[in-house]
Structure 1
């Protein structure tokens, strides 16, 4: 499938949907109208729907239907159920969704199987309502608020659990608005987001007051080939360095860590590249999150339909079944593989990036 094999977008370039679907209720919010205006200015086809149901005529061919859905952005209103925050361990105290869905084409996509229907990305028009509800959660979390090691981060809010907000920023402006909002919030709080995109220009001059941490999601070239439609890893690291210069705390999300042939040399070279990127930046506040590859039966089925012929290994060799807190099952690396991976990363990070803090391993 050609769309899944693309090598990535140019450094600094942002994603543009082919069309924007606008629900009727979303036009009642200033953010919804602003998204429409931004999309129109970018030359995106704007389609105003008659009601609040997102509908899209999709081709019968599954591959063409996937491509059409992935190139569509819908503006909707987040209902009260979506504005009730959920814990998001081990990353942050709470998950705050600015959107659901992602325009990237990753063969291991974590969203596969968890979002219903065609993979249309939905962005929320009622951003003010979402942000106004956050104060009730301050001091209530258990990941950073209640942690001795991470309490200095304050109450943390993760904005990239179900989306890549930087990818959507050229059309939505939601990430900039949220960063500025946190910057004005005089409280022990932190906004967090991770991205595979590199267009951070609109964020650099914001009054963030150190209350937003950007992390770049990275993988070595051997495995970044599974991340279609994203910015090159070198561009992501350059963007992260620019954010650090602008005073943002920053981080790396090394994910998913893939234990395929050649992984040690590949990840070793990646860590060397990171060290070189930050060599000339003094006193960088840098964290690292280490997430190994895993999948469920449901996500595997969806991914194999989206990316037929992908060489990503989702076989059972070297895997074991783990039951989640929700009672579902996922396939993770077996204990011996996990020990080898963890030992490698802890030792190499200590040697090449001694200033970095590893937040968690999973």
Structure 2
């Protein structure tokens, strides 16, 4: 199966400070090799010219743009990221995909361009300073074998931009070589399938790659610009055969008509793909669909014709200690889906460790 066509930006903006860093040379080399001709080094560190005349034009322009910037000091200190991992490390912020339920909506300011960080040494240094610290995997009975874990996909899909950045390969290689110690590991989730370059990295079994998977009706309707489900499942197999720890991020699950049949087929396809993989280390994370008032407003501005269900009256409002609210499925629906998924995983993928349901 041929890989899904990868995203290539129409233009690349490089801030002055980023232009002085060695990793930017690699990014420029990759962008030129991908056929990008509009590469501009800015006179300063402020990104300009990002907005169109309408919200839709701004969105379209942003999704064609890659900005190479220097991560500010505030972004260099790893942050706790339960229940996924001990800490969050950001190689970039922004994603080229067009998911109509986008997790980043409402959490990133300004047009949704993809910003990749040129000061990769500074970004990855947090792995060394935080090794041996953490409460999610470090020292726990359930996940202690993963060491101190660092999540790379909170604000981007690192594989979706890898062919024009090289940042993901660099991180995997350094951690695999033990640069930051032997008791650390990386994690990231992706909806893309072009994993060929990852297969030859000496990863030292210190990176877990999770494929984000969903029912066909949801993926085909709401996940634009991503790999289709059979390609993602095949990528999962290729990574597992290459010795990577792998996982499923089943998200966001929705109780659409026929959801049991569709998710059942998905899990059966995964089971078949992984059936004969030696030394398989497989996890599962299950996340139900939810939204906030602010994310709904942003999503409707990006995708005014979306058929995504975001009806507050059919949801339960869940408030956090800071007064924020998100809308989740009612308790009965959540309980029904959770029971089904736990049982189905045990039946079809008994080797999978369910890390959490939310």
Q: TM-score, normalised by structure 2?
A: 0.96
The Cα of 1:57 is off from its aligned counterpart by: 4.5
2:24 is aligned to 32
1:146, distance to aligned residue in structure 2 (A): 4.4
| Secondary structure at 1:243 match in 2 | helix
Per-residue deviation at 1:278? 1.1
The structure showing larger relative contact order (alpha-carbon pairs under 8 Å, at least 6 residues apart) is 1
The answer to whether 1:285 aligns with 2:277 is no
The alpha-carbon deviation at position 170 of structure 1 amounts to 0.5
- Inter-partner Cα distance in structure 2 for 1:299 and 1:148: 36
Structure 2 distance, partners of 1:92, 1:326, is 22
Aligned residue in 1 for 2:198: 203
Unaligned stretches of 5+ residues in structure 1: 1-9
Kept in 2, the 8 Å contact 1:318–1:337? The answer is no
Name stretches of at least 5 consecutive residues in structure 2 with no aligned partner: none
Tell me how far 1:326 sits from its aligned partner: 4.5
Is 2:219 the counterpart of 1:227? no
Q: Which residue of 1 aligns with 2:168?
A: 175
Matched residue, 1:19:
11
Give the corresponding residue for 1:110.
103
Q: How does 1:87-126 map to 2 (within 5 A)?
A: 87-126=80-119
| CA drift at 1:13 | 2.8
Q: How far apart are residue 12 of structure 1 and its match?
A: 4.1
Tell me the SS of whatever aligns to 2:279. Answer: coil
- Shift, 1:65, TM fit: 1.8
Deviation string, structure 1 residues 252-303 (Cα, Å, up to 9, x no partner): 0000011222211111111111111112323311100000001100000000
1:133 CA drift (Å): 2.8
Q: Distance in 2 between matches of 1:315 and 1:220?
A: 21
Cα deviation for residue 310 of structure 1 reads: 0.9
Structure 1 Cα separation of the partners of residues 25 and 323 of structure 2: 41
Residue number in structure 2 paired with 1:260: 256
1:155-174 equivalences in 2 (<5 Å): 155-174=148-167
Using the size of structure 1 for normalisation, the TM-score is: 0.95
| Maintained 8 Å contact 2:78/2:126 | no
Does 1:213 find its partner at 2:205? Answer: no
Shift, 1:93, TM fit: 0.3
Of 225, 232, 237, the residue aligned with 2:233 is 237
Aligned pair partner of 2:300 in 283, 301, 304: 304
Question: Where does residue 194 of structure 1 map in the other structure?
Answer: 189
Corresponding residue pairs, total: 353
The answer to whether 1:43 aligns with 2:35 is yes
SS at match of 1:167: coil
Q: Distance in 2 between matches of 1:182 and 1:293?
A: 33
Change in CA separation of 1:298 and 1:197 when aligned onto 2, cut-off 3 Å: same
Paired residue secondary structure (2:160):
helix
Secondary structure of the 1:187 match is coil
Distance in 1, matches of 2:73 and 2:218, equals 39
Cα distance in 2 for residues equivalent to 1:182 and 1:29: 21
1:60-71 equivalences in 2 (<5 Å): 60-71=53-64
Task: Identify the match of residue 309 of structure 2 among 310, 313, 326.
Answer: 313
Aligned to 2:126: 133
Task: State the distance in 1 between where 2:273 and 2:50 align.
Answer: 45
C-alpha contact 2:50 2:111 (8 A) present in aligned 1? no
Aligned equivalent of 1:355: 351
In structure 2, the partner of 1:5 is: none
Distance 1:169 1:325 in 2: 37
Encode CA deviations 1:127-184: one digit per residue, 9 max, x unaligned.
0111123211112111111432111111000000000000010000000000001001
Equivalent of 2:324 in 315, 328, 331 = 328
